[in-house]
Amino acid sequence: MAQFRIDSHQYLPQEKTLFEVVMLADQYGNQVGPANPTGTAVDAFGRARVSTPLTLFDSSHRYADNGLWVTSNTSSNSTVTFNENAGLMNLVVTTANNAEIIRETTKVFSYQPGKSLQILQTFVMEPKANVRQRVGYYGANNGIYLEVSGNTAYFVERSLSSGTVQETRVAQSSWNKDTLLGAVASSPSGITLDLTKAQIMFVDVEWLGLGTVRCGFVIDGRLIHCHSFNHANYITSTYMTTASLPLRYEIKNTGVTASNTTLKQVCSSVISEGGYELRGTQQSIGLGANSAVNLAAAGTFYPIISIQLKSARQDAIVILTALSILGIGNNARFRYKIINNPTLTNASWTSAGSDTSVEYDTSATAVTGGRTLASGYLAATTQSATTIDALKEALFKFQLERNALTGVSYPLTLAIESAVANDDVLATLDWEEITR
């Protein structure tokens, strides 16, 4: 059968066949794929971005500061305030030298080897002499971030791999993919980056200890790849200690400024491209069979078991996966809560083992405050205990948190109340440690 080409409006010669193939290309028309994984149509591992992304974390501010961040404020007159109409946080430093505000997430986000990790953050900076502003996926020792110092932009890689914190700073004029300096040879997009305007920054991480980190911006709906930090075949160790890191927004005066300066924090997201499978080390702690807790007063919540991160391992990722409760008696009624960061009375912390990042407490006598993550009811029988599994899709909601700016770990507490006085309960907590 003759084949007709609609593009040229003619029949192909006899025994000739035209094959049409769909090819992926970047915004400049360059073919992309595993053989040429340079475009943003593929993830950090060169796979076409057709996989289902799994959101590990997202942050926005609709009605208040959302409680997912902690703040360090080194100037009594500097402020962090919620702008309800704009739906953002204003980080405002005064004119004083060294005035500083740091905002960091209470959680560290899990990088799974072999999967691309994509970070998106939105913000509005106010470039100014003697002001340094940073936004990125980083903590005190490791990470990737955008820095604007005065009016000069840098992408920075921070690393503790050598034993001391070292930073590789690349100025905008030296970005190796697109400098965003307008109609110049180093800027294929022809776009001029205006850091006085709202920006969407992306970072995608191929870690495995030695991979590539790509940085850029989303402008006019296009992911514009600006700079790559390349490591495989170039270095002799890992480029960072870990790719499991927190998010940060930071503003600091490096000298006296002419006026107050505002960094606007808007939204953030951390995405595992291609899903996420929980593959950690399972751990557990519980009360002894003869160590039931007596709930002396009816209607009062008592702390039964609490766990928290060890002070030396506050960047560990630990997730509560299950709990088991046994009410001793018959036809007794109980209510339980899982409470994040409560105040515990008479707590005494004990290491859960040398191979774990967790310490636990079973001696606290009272619990107040904190945020309830889950709750429910159970009835005691003489037959069995009640086991509650954390929902798989909600696992990271039960991740242990901390304030890395002050070095304080947040307890996660199982608290129980009974309908009548002097009921007894036993309980266990199970968790999974991703960082090991």
For residues 156 and 148, is the Cβ–Cβ distance under 8 A? Answer: no
Write down the pLDDT at residue 45.
45
Tokens coding 13: 């010669």
For residues 137 and 155, is the Cβ–Cβ distance under 8 A? Answer: no
Domain end point (choices 240, 273, 306): 273
pTM of the model: 0.86
Q: What is the pLDDT of residues 250-265, one digit of tens each?
A: 999 999 999 999 999 9
Band of residue 392 on the pLDDT scale cut at 50, 70, 90: low
pLDDT of 332 over the 70 cut: yes
Residue 386 sits in the same domain as residue 237? no
Q: What is the pLDDT of residues 57-103, one digit of tens each?
A: 999 999 999 999 999 987 778 999 999 999 999 999 999 999 999 99
pLDDT of 50 over the 70 cut: no
> Does any domain span residue 43?
no
Burial of 181 (0-12, 13-18, 19+ CB in 10 A): middle
For residues 32 and 41, is the Cβ–Cβ distance under 8 A? Answer: yes
pLDDT of 46 over the 90 cut: no
Residue 105 sits in the same domain as residue 207? yes
> Does any domain span residue 34?
no
Count of structural domains within the chain: 2
> Does any domain span residue 30?
no
Band of residue 44 on the pLDDT scale cut at 50, 70, 90: very low
> Does any domain span residue 201?
yes
Domain end point (choices 273, 293, 324): 273
Range of the domain at 397: 281-433
Q: What is the pLDDT of residues 413-427, one digit of tens each?
A: 999 999 999 999 999
> Does any domain span residue 15?
no
Band of residue 33 on the pLDDT scale cut at 50, 70, 90: low
Burial 242-261 (b: 16+ CB within 10 A, else e): bbbbbbbbbbbbeeebeebb
Query: Which amino acid makes up residue 63?
Result: Y
| C-alpha span between 265 and 88 (Å, rounded) | 6
Pairing of strands 222-229, 213-219: antiparallel
Write down the pLDDT at residue 244.
95
Write down the pLDDT at residue 97.
94
Residue 244 sits in the same domain as residue 286? no
pLDDT, averaged across the chain: 90
